[in-house]
Structure 1
Amino acid sequence: MHADEDGKLRVAFTDWPDLAAEKVGGRAVIANDEFFAPKENLLRPGRGVFIADRYTERGKWMDGWETRRRRSPGHDWCIVQLGLPGVVRGVDIDTNHFLGNFPEYASLEGVEVMGSPEPDALTSARWTPLMPQLRLQGGSRNLFFIASEQRWTHLRLNIFPDGGVARLRVHGEVRPELSRLTQGGEPVDLAALENGGVVVACNDAFFGPRDNLILPGRAAHMGEGWETRRKRVPGFDWIIVKLTTPGTVERVEVDTAHYKGNFPDMCSLEGCYLREPVVDFANARDIVWTELLARTKLQADHRHFFASELQAKGPFTHVRLNIFPDGGISRLRVHGRPA
C-alpha cells in the first residue's frame, strides 16, 4: 500500500485498469440467482447508490447483484467476461450499502477461452482457483491481491452462502493477442488500452483518471477524459503512456471532446526508447526524450490529427503528452507499427 497526495492509503494494484468494467466491454454473462438485483450492476461505474424508499415487486431495490436467502446447501455465483483479457493483479469486491445482506465469504476462479462461448459451456469449463474463500466485510471495499501470471478471459465470483455485492473491480494488465496487432499490415493504435497500452505516470489527474486517456471509443462526456486541476504555479502538466510494444509512429490523434472552457491551450508529444523499467518517471533524470510534435495550439471539443507535423518516427517504447498549462484531454491515439 502507499499514500496518495491527500494522505489516504491506496493499494498498489488499484493503479491498474479495471479489466471487467462495463465501459471497456466487460459483461456479466450468467448468474445462478439474481432475485433481488441483477448481475449487470456488478460492472457499472461508481460504487452504487442507496435510495431508502425505493422498492420493487420483489423487495428492496439495491444497486448491485443480490441473490435470495439460500435455504439449501451450496453457494451463489456469477460469471463475468472481461472486456480486456489479461493478467489479474487484484480484485475489489465492493459491498457498499450491503450491510445486513452481504455474503460472509467470497472466492474467485478464472478460465481462458476463445471467443464468446455460450453460458452452458462456461458453467462446465475447467475453472482455476485464483483466490481462496476469504471473509468479506459489509459496506466496504474488500481488496484482495491475486498471485497469478496467467492470462484470463472470464472470472467466476463465488459468494458464500448468498447475499449482495455492489461492484466487482478486476484490476490488471491487459494482454492482447499480439498476432492480431500485426495482421493486415495496417497501422494500429499502440497506446490503446485494449491493445495493451498502459498509462504509467502523470503529474496530475485531479478531475479525470489517467487511464481514461486511452480507453476504447470516444468519451461520452467530460468525466470520461483525463483532466488536471487549474495550475497556479509555473510549468505544465504531462502524462506518460507505455506502448503495447516498441513501434514507429505514423499518426497521432489528440481529442478534446467535451472540453470547452477547460481544454489545454497547447500540447506537445515526446517519445523515448527504454530497455529497462522506470519506477519513478517524475524524478528520472537520464531519460532521453525525442520531440515528435512541437508545441501546438489546440481547439475546444475537437479531434486533432497530426501526421506530416510529426518530427520523429521512432521506434519508441513510451510517449509523453505535455499540455500547456493544464486542462483536459479525452483521448490520445498513437497509430503506428510494431518495430
Structure 2
Amino acid sequence: MSIFDDLRSQYVNLAQPRLGAEVVYATDDFFADKARLIDPAAPVFIPGKYDDNGKWMDGWESRRKRVPGHDWCVIRLGAAGLVAGFEIDTSHFTGNYPPGAEIEVCRSDERVPGDDAGWIKVTGRLALKGDDRIYVPITHNTPVTHIRLHIFPDGGVARLRVWGRIAKDWSAVDADVALDLLAMEHGGRGIIANDEHYGSPENLTAPGRGVNMGDGWETRRRREPGHDYAVLELGTAGVIEEITVDTAHFKGNYPDRCFIQAAPVATGAPEEIAAASESWPVLLPEVKLAADTVHVFRDEIADLGSVRFVRLNIIPDGGVSRLRMVGRIVR
C-alpha cells in the first residue's frame, strides 16, 4: 500500500468539489484554470491539445512572471476541517513547474479572506520537482476553512489534496433531530474494503446520489467463495433508525444481497479493525437488493444502541453507490 492509499484510509480530502470546495482566487491562471487544481480525477496529459493561450495542461498554471513577486491561489474548503497534511502533485509539469511552494491556512467567513484574516504558515519553503507527487504532513490543531498555496515564482501544479477530518460542531446539533451520521459532510468516512477494484468506499458517504457507475464502491467479479465488505466510521456515535442502500447506476453488477454489522468502538490499524468487524453484531439482517434502486430499511434494524462503526457486507460482490445511516446522536 502506498502512502497515498494509506491517506485515504485515515482521512478525507477536504478540498474536493463534491463537498463544496472551490478555488476562489488566483493571482494568475493564464495557462490553466485554477479550478483544475482540485479536480478529483487524476491529472492527465493530452499530446497535441492546445487552447488560445498555449498548451492545455491539467492543473493550475500561471504565466511566466516578468515582474517581482510570486503567484498564489486560495482554496475554500467545503467544510471546516482539521488538516493533517497536503498532497502536492506536479504530474506532467516538467519544464513549467514551480521550484518552491509554501502553504498557509486560516478560518474565515469570507469567501476570499484578505491578508488580515489571520493566515498561519503551516509549512516552510517546500522544494518541488517536476512530474512528481509528495505528501507534506503538518501539525495544526484547530479547524480551518481556507488554504493559501504560494508558488515561487510561477508555474504549474496539477493537483492539491488537503487531507484531514471534517470538524463538525456536534454540540450545536439537536439530539432530537435525525440525520445521516455517515454523511461525508458530517465527518463520515470509509476506513477499508477487502476490494476496491472499481471504486473507493469513501464514495458511499458522498453527498447526493451517484452521478454514474464510477461514483460508488464496486468490487471485481468474485471467483472464489465468500463475499465482499467495506468498513466505515460515522461522524459521531448515534442510534440508527433508518438505513438506505442505493444501487444507483449499478444494473448488471449490483450485489444480490447485503447485511450490515455495527459496533460502538473500534481501534487499531484498518486491517485490525476489518478483522475485528467479522464478529460485530448484526444491525441489518440479510436483505435482497435490486438494480439501480434506493432501498430504505427501518423495521428490519436491530436495537444495538449507540454505534460508531459499520461494516457493509455485499453478497457476493458488485457495486453500491451510497450508504446512508440516519439516526440520532448520543451525547
Q: How does 1:1-339 map to 2 (within 5 A)?
A: 4=1, 10=4, 12-15=6-9, 16-114=11-109, 117-119=110-112, 121-182=113-174, 185-274=176-265, 277-279=267-269, 280-284=272-276, 289-339=280-330
Compared with structure 1, are the counterparts of its residues 152 and 273 closer, same or farther at alpha carbon in structure 2 (3 Å cutoff)? same
**Separation in 1, partners of 2:172, 2:249:** 32
Unmatched segments (≥5 aa) in structure 2 = none
Question: Structure 1: how far apart are the matches of 2:248 and 2:210?
Answer: 7
- Report how far residue 9 of structure 1 moved: 6.0
The separation in 2 between residues aligned to 1:189 and 1:161, in whole angstroms, is 44
Sort the Cα spacing of 1:180 and 1:218 in 2 relative to 1 into closer, same or farther, 3 A: farther
CA distance in 2 between counterparts of 1:11 and 1:251 reads 31
Among all aligned residue pairs of Structure 1 and Structure 2, give the percentage whose two residues are the same amino acid.
43
CA offset digits 1:110-158 (Å, max 9, x no partner): 00123xx143x43431101111111011111122112222211110001
Supply the AA of the counterpart residue of 2:173. L
Aligned 8 A contact 1:14 1:90 in 2: no
Question: Taking structure 1 as reference, are residues 232 and 11 closer, same or farther at Cα in structure 2, changes over 3 Å only?
Answer: closer
Question: Once the 2 structures are TM-superposed, how far is the Cα of residue 52 of structure 1 from its aligned partner?
Answer: 2.5
Q: Distance between the aligned counterparts of 2:3 and 2:232, measured in 1?
A: 24
- In structure 2, do the counterparts of structure 1 residues 152 and 126 end up closer, same or farther at CA, with 3 Å as the change threshold? same
Q: Distance in 2 between matches of 1:118 and 1:171?
A: 21
Contact (CA 8 Å) 1:290, 1:312: kept in 2 or not? Answer: no
Distance in 2 (CA, whole Å) between partners of 1:152 and 1:171 is 12
TM-score, scaled relative to structure 1: 0.91
The DSSP-based 3-state class of the residue aligned with 1:294 is strand
Count of aligned positions: 327
Structure 1 contact 272–288 (Cα < 8 Å) conserved: no
Unaligned runs of 5+ in 1: none
* CA RMSD after TM alignment: 1.8
Find runs of 4+ consecutive structure 1 residues off by over 3 angstroms. Answer: 8-12, 121-124
Q: Secondary structure at the match of 2:202?
A: helix
1:184-240 Cα offsets, whole Å, 9 max, x none, are x32011111110112222211111012111011111001110111111211111111
User: 2:129, 2:178 → 1: CA distance?
Assistant: 47
Q: Secondary structure at the match of 2:245?
A: strand
Contact 1:13 1:89 in 2 (8 A): no
Q: Which moved more, 1:11-20 or 1:257-266?
A: 11-20
- Is the contact between residue 181 and residue 188 of structure 1 (CA under 8 Å) also seen in structure 2? no
CA 1:141–1:14 in structure 2 vs 1: closer, same or farther (change >3 Å)?
farther
Normalising by structure 2, what TM-score? 0.93
Distance 1:315 1:135 in 2: 47
